[in-house]
Amino acid sequence: MEEPQIDPDKWLKEVASSKSNHHSRRLRVIKLEKRVSAIFSILSKVFVIGAILIASAFVFRELSDESYHIDQVNVPAAFEEAGLSGPVVANMIQERLREMIDVLRKHDEAGEYINASDRVDVEVDMVGLGVPIRGVVTLIGEALGVGAKNKIHADIFASNKKSTIILRVSGQPAEWYESEGEDNDLKLHVRQLVDEAAKGILKATDPKLLELYYANIKHDGPNTIKMAKYLLEKFGDDPIMAGHAYDSWAWGLLYEEKLVEAVAKIEEGLKLYPNEHRFYNTWGNVLAEMGRNEEAIEKFKHFFKVATPSELTVYRLSTMYINTGIAFAYLNEFDSAMSYMRRALALDKDDWIIYYDIAGIALMKQDTIMFYEYFENALEKGADVDMVRGDTDLKDMLNEARVVELLAKFANR
């Protein structure tokens, strides 16, 4: 058998072609490796640039943040042993603030103010990963001469069956509050201190809101007057805020039953701020409290003459209808009274004060069935239990079994 003949020229060409293909594949692999390396290099640079941008945005946001941060609450050993550590108390203060704001939101005047203003938030910065990072940001800000954060710091002391909290808010003088009573119950003392601290923070961050809390929610005469004076001292050059402060001062005097002084304060305010329509509502309420209900109705009607269309908000209209209705009720003109109350309800079916005042009219009519219906509705819609218990117009009903039951039911919501 003959062996196959090999063509030398053909063999050399095949070898050369094979080497060429192998070299070409190596070149392609090298080029691919270079492309992958270049892509990864670009991606790593993009990642670094992105990280820098994100970090810069975070630093800028932190340094420009106007919210308030509870960064430290120091408590005595007895509090720690009872499980009331600094972070626990700090979170209790934050939660109490939220509760107060939520209650105020349900009251139309305060709700209008909250929605129209740029409120600053209060946060707790005592635990968690964000704290050391934010600490570094604060140091950067201080190095650049930029203040980072409005800080809140509190120290609590306990001695002689009383507890004291010293509250320090950035840019404000320190405030000092004490718990009341001689009770050794630490949790009771803490609740009192937390409540006072929340009010102190509100005073430092948004004093108008605290004034509305005392005047509209608590009907607290002394503290309403105190906050009115504070607003005049702080915002005396602002005619709107100053006018509101005078009006609030008159309300505080009304709550204290200093009616002649309340009228004098209204007249003083009107000389300075003659366009402030609120004075006529307050004046009507003072006259009604004096038993001069016909004059009160005239003041309420005059309110509509001086208020501009933009000032006749749902809250203002419903308030005037309520006050006019109550004045008619004291004149024993119950049909007219309920006519105005129905107008108020048509405007706002969720305002607890309307239901509460209708319950009061029902009492005047000696209609207990109607009283309980509207009284319970008022509590369901957010009536303040402490305010109800302090209402002298209701004192004859406070010991009634169903009233006691309803107040207990809604006391701890």
Whether 78 and 156 have beta carbons less than 8 Å apart is answered as no
Q: What count of Cα atoms within 13 Å lies in the side-chain half-sphere of residue 232?
A: 15
Q: Phi first, then psi: what are they for 260, rounded to 5°? A: -65, -40
Cα dihedral 378/317/361/215 (nearest 10): 60
Secondary structure (3-state) at 396: coil
Which pLDDT tens digit goes with each residue over 15-31? Answer: 455 555 555 555 454 55
**What average pLDDT is seen over the chain?**
81
Q: What's the confidence (pLDDT) of residue 146?
A: 47
Of 177, 213, 181, 194, residue with least CA distance to 79: 194
DSSP secondary structure string for all residues of 22-69: HHHHHHHHHHHHHHHHHHHHHHHHHHHHHHHHHHHHHHHHHHH--SEE
| C-alpha distance from residue 296 to each of 131, 246, 250, 326 (Å) | 57, 19, 15, 10
Could you identify the residue written with the tokens 């002298």? Answer: 392
Window from 188-192, 288-292, 295-299 with minimum mean pLDDT: 188-192
Which pLDDT tens digit goes with each residue over 151-204? Answer: 889 999 887 678 899 999 888 889 988 887 666 778 888 889 999 999 999 898
Residues 6+ apart with CB under 8 A from 316: 307
For the cut 70, the answer to whether the pLDDT of residue 301 exceeds it is: yes
Q: Phi first, then psi: what are they for 406, rounded to 5°? A: -65, -40
Q: What's the confidence (pLDDT) of residue 171?
A: 82
Identify each DSSP E strand in 75-161 by its residue range.
122-124, 150-159
Copy the structure tokens of residue 124. Answer: 């707790």
For the cut 80, the answer to whether the pLDDT of residue 265 exceeds it is: yes
DSSP secondary structure string for all residues of 324-359: HHHHHHHTT-HHHHHHHHHHHHHH-TT-HHHHHHHH
How many Cβ atoms sit within 10 Å of the Cβ of residue 18? 10
For the cut 70, the answer to whether the pLDDT of residue 12 exceeds it is: no
115 torsion bin: left (phi>0), alpha (psi -120 to 50), beta (else):
alpha
Continuous segment of H or E residues that includes residue 280 = helix 278-289
Window from 37-46, 141-150, 328-337, 360-369 with minimum mean pLDDT: 141-150
Q: What's the confidence (pLDDT) of residue 251?
A: 97
What pLDDT band is residue 6 in, cutting at 50, 70 and 90? low
pTM (2 d.p.): 0.70
How many Cβ atoms sit within 10 Å of the Cβ of residue 127? 12
Which pLDDT tens digit goes with each residue over 111-161? Answer: 555 555 554 555 655 443 344 444 444 444 444 444 545 788 999 988 767
Of 313, 358, 304, residue with least CA distance to 111: 313
Q: What count of Cα atoms within 13 Å lies in the side-chain half-sphere of residue 369?
A: 0
Cα dihedral 51/56/59/62 (nearest 10): -100
DSSP secondary structure string for all residues of 156-196: EEEETTEEEEEEEETTS--EEEE--SS---HHHHHHHHHHH
For the cut 70, the answer to whether the pLDDT of residue 396 exceeds it is: yes
